[in-house]
Structure 1
Amino acid sequence: MVNCVSIFSGAGGLDVGAKNAGAKIVACVENDPDAAETLRLNRTSIDNPEIFAVDIQSVDFTQLRTDEPTILIGGPPCQPFSKNGYWVKNDNRLIDEDPRNMIGQFLRAVSELQPSGFIFENVESILHPTNIATFERFLVEARALGYACTVYRANSADFGVPQKRKRVFVFGVRKARTPIPQPHPTHGDPAKPELMNGYQPYTGVGAFISKYASDDFREPQEDASNGNYFYELTHVPPGKNYIALSKLKGYDGRKFRTGGRFWNFLHKLHPEEPSITIAAQPGPWVGPFHWDNRRLRVPEVAAIQTFPEVYKFFGNRRSVQKQIGNAVPCLLGEKMVAHLIEYL
């Protein structure tokens, strides 16, 4: 059994994945009160860990260090990415602290806990040219602490999640001679048969959310019928967005210039295809919408993120959406943590 310390835990998506991969969650650190309460409500789903509902800067990770194999997992808030001037090494080779940027706190946790390995998770834009220097400095510091690092750009749909969601993972293994290999996808896009290579086809959302279609799960917030773009929404074909309106024959509603709106504007799910990325704070006409021309229900959003059916969320509707949207899909977390454990 490998112990696991989770930081920036959020609603616990990566934690659930770690448990399913065979790790034992011993501690979670999460400063947001609603997300911390969500973790408490689901203790049995994440091994009944000690929950530190405090600012991570107040946590002494040396107190969690043991002689047993341990991994550290987490996705720190890392804004502003482009402020590279804040990254200065001190005598301990750690990055100077900026309260707006928690990468330094992740490295401090690594330094104090001295885990056998770690998983650092973040948004794909951390590799953008305006942010890459910050990210590369993180790798330099992690390696200086004794960890061989592997960078992997993942799409959750490639691992059976019913959602196209791109994230960056760094696998760190202590005292490894060479970086571990990247994970191997298990699923592929059937629209690109030349790239399937024996993979299973992407998983559609229908199998995950159809059970929540009855009126028993109806929510007041799902009704979009009184909105400005409801007529347009009803004409968007499943699996498409606003761009499809300009190609419909006999359609007499508003049309929009291609590129004039964000790509997820009026995007509608197709039951046999993965969802687009679930947003933490979507605008009123940001998809995905259900193919029944309504907004998604909480259990549907959670299912697309592959949370267990029994998982509970604390807070108002906006808070719950934010918690779910910020989470790592549990199934993706399971695949990533299992890959790390394999090479410890």
Structure 2
Amino acid sequence: MSIFSGAGGLDIGAINAGAQIVVCVENDPDAAQTLRLNNIGGHQSAVLEKSVETVDFTHWRDDSETILIGGPPCQPFSKNGYWVKNDNRLIAGDPRNMLGQYLRAVSELQPTGFLFENVESIRHPTNIAVFERFLHDAEAMGYACTVYRANSADFGVPQKRKRVFVFGIRGAKNPIPHPHKTHSDPGKPELMNGFAPHVGVGSFIKKYSGQRYAEPQEDASNGTYYHELIHVPAGKNYIALSGLDNYSGRTFRAGGRFWNFLQKLHPEEPAITIAAQPGPWVGPFHWDNRRLRVPEVAAIQTFPDDYKFAGNRRSIQKQIGNAVPCLLGEVMVRHLLEKL
């Protein structure tokens, strides 16, 4: 059972890991339609277009081997929230904090195991008390919990995307071990230890470089910072401008902008994290000095080539940016299934 399903990144991963999706719960109309377009769950009625808060999970409780997967909304735990003073953030009372609803689903469904996903910053000092309460309550319900911080690039995804996973196993005496990563940063030889090098984006998005896939939104040539963008070397961001020879244009103080400002892809390196709602000059940009196309963004998130997305361009970007990379989801779900 999948809750907070979004566009189905974790669901696709679960299917590829050998699980069968019985039902998805997603309240965003476009994301729910995306799930239907791709036949997630095998039939249209498998997608419940409603808030998790309104679902009675006891309906699906049975004696078979069932797992619950999902990532509650991460906005309350996002790094963007660090600009707000701690005494004004009220994480525990934030209506977008759905950790309690995830626990209710666990309590009512009583799955054999669960996989919880969220942003890395859920473990930030501002958020850690809420997260530790989540773990305490899950363990009180009889689940041994393993917390794992994953970088998707360490599992063959062409993107550096850090996420926290919690593996819960009902009735287990001890937490399960962490998954074994398969790739590592070749720029840090001391960490390779026989791992394959991180995968670059080039081989994933090359097929979408022709005019057939061109989008009006990709053109940045009339924008405020286009002159600066074309001078940023592949794989770098705005900071690189200060070190260029024979460059005549604006430079920016290091730390004066968000790190992803004017960030550009390098074909032989993983992308930075794909954002759900990027600003106009937030990367990654293509090394051809344009914004990325929908199939390119989806490929970096390792969605299947023929995956369909519902909604307008803004909605699709949000769906893809909020998703768990399918390949990372596959590895995590398979690890859970193997330990049940």
Normalising by structure 2, report the TM-score: 0.94
Q: List, as ranges, runs of 4+ consecutive aligned residues in structure 1 with deviation greater than 2 Å.
A: 45-49, 78-86
Summarize the Cα distance change of 1:84–1:230 in structure 2 as closer, same or farther, 3 Å threshold.
Answer: closer
Alignment equivalent of 1:83, drawn from 90, 97, 105: 90
1:78–1:103 Cα contact (<8 Å) kept:
no
Matched, 1:104 2:91: no
Alignment equivalent of 2:26, drawn from 16, 27, 30: 30
Cα offset for 1:47? 3.8
Cα offset for 1:79? 5.3
Identity in percent: 75
Which blocks of at least 5 consecutive residues in structure 1 are unaligned? 87-97
Cα offset for 1:77? 1.6
Which blocks of at least 5 consecutive residues in structure 2 are unaligned? 78-88
Cα offset for 1:66? 1.8
Structure 2: distance between partners of 1:85 and 1:6: 24
2:338 aligned partner: 342
2:149 aligned partner: 153
2:287 aligned partner: 291
Note the alpha carbon deviations across 1:179-229, whole angstroms, 9 max, x for none: 000111000000001110100000000000000000000000000000011
Cα offset for 1:46? 4.9
2:192 aligned partner: 196
- 1:177 corresponds to which letter in structure 2? K
Cα offset for 1:57? 1.2
Matched, 1:170 2:177: no
- 1:199 corresponds to which letter in structure 2? F
Instruction: Please give the secondary structure, in 1, of the residue aligned with 2:11.
Output: helix
Matched, 1:40 2:36: yes
Note the alpha carbon deviations across 1:254-283, whole angstroms, 9 max, x for none: 111111111100000000000000000000
Cα offset for 1:294? 0.1
Cα offset for 1:142? 0.2
Matched, 1:141 2:134: no
Q: How does 1:109-120 map to 2 (within 5 A)?
A: 109-120=105-116
Alignment equivalent of 2:117, drawn from 98, 121, 131: 121
Matched length = 328
2:92–2:130 Cα contact (<8 Å) kept:
no
- 1:297 corresponds to which letter in structure 2? R
Instruction: Please give the secondary structure, in 2, of the residue aligned with 1:334.
Output: helix
Matched, 1:306 2:306: no
- 1:106 corresponds to which letter in structure 2? Y
Summarize the Cα distance change of 1:85–1:67 in structure 2 as closer, same or farther, 3 Å threshold.
Answer: closer
Normalising by structure 1, report the TM-score: 0.93
Structure 2: distance between partners of 1:71 and 1:116: 6
Structure 2: distance between partners of 1:55 and 1:188: 38
